[in-house]
Amino acid sequence: GAGVSQTPSNKVTEKGKYVELRCDPISGHTALYWYRQSLGQGPEFLIYFQGTGAADDSGLPNDRFFAVRPEGSVSTLKIQRTERGDSAVYLCASSLRAGTDVTNTGELFFGEGSRLTVL
């Protein structure tokens, strides 16, 4: 499809398990973002990729969270030893490019999200 695709749409796991969430951005978009959204809250930034490299991972809550984008397209968010507090909707977004110049609006195109529930 033409939009951002995220899988799985829903994931239920047990505390302590490992999970992977996948994001397939819009073709040609070099910038990819992961956000986390808790119930009743706005999205919170986790990590940003420009191409293959993680340009900013300052939003990752701790070292149990890791993300990769090996070929500059599909990205995987990996969560080890899941905890109940990790339960949230994980949103992926892409944009044509990223930058701080005024010509770059930073408009994001979001996927539908992956709802993670840790029991």
Partner 1 sequence: SQQGEEDPQALSIQEGENATMNCSYKTSINNLQWYRQNSGRGLVHLILIRSNEREKHSGRLRVTLDTSKKSSSLLITASRAADTASYFCASKPSNDYKLSFGAGTTVTVRA
In the block, tokens 């986790």 appear at: 46
**Residues 32-71 vs partner 1: string with x where CB under 8 A?**
-x-x----xxxxxx--x------xx---------------
Q: What's the CA gap between 69 and 72, in Å, rounded?
A: 5
Q: Which of 67, 111, 116, 118 binds partner 1 (CB under 8 A)?
A: 111
Q: Does 25 bind partner 1 (CB under 8 A)?
A: no
Would you give the distance in Å from CA 31 to the centre of its chain?
12
Nearest approach in angstroms of CB 103 to partner 1 is 10
∠ CA 28-30-31, nearest 5°, is: 135
Q: Does 19 bind partner 1 (CB under 8 A)?
A: no
Q: Does 108 bind partner 1 (CB under 8 A)?
A: yes
Closest CA to 15 of 87, 86, 84: 84
Q: Which of 4, 19, 77, 79 binds partner 1 (CB under 8 A)?
A: 4
For 58, phi and psi rounded to 5 degrees? -65, -20
**Which CB, 16 or 99, lies closer to partner 1?**
99
Would you give the distance in Å from CA 93 to the centre of its chain?
7
DSSP 62: S
Interaction site with partner 1 (CB under 8 A): 4, 31, 33, 35, 40-45, 48, 55-56, 91, 93, 98-100, 102, 104-113
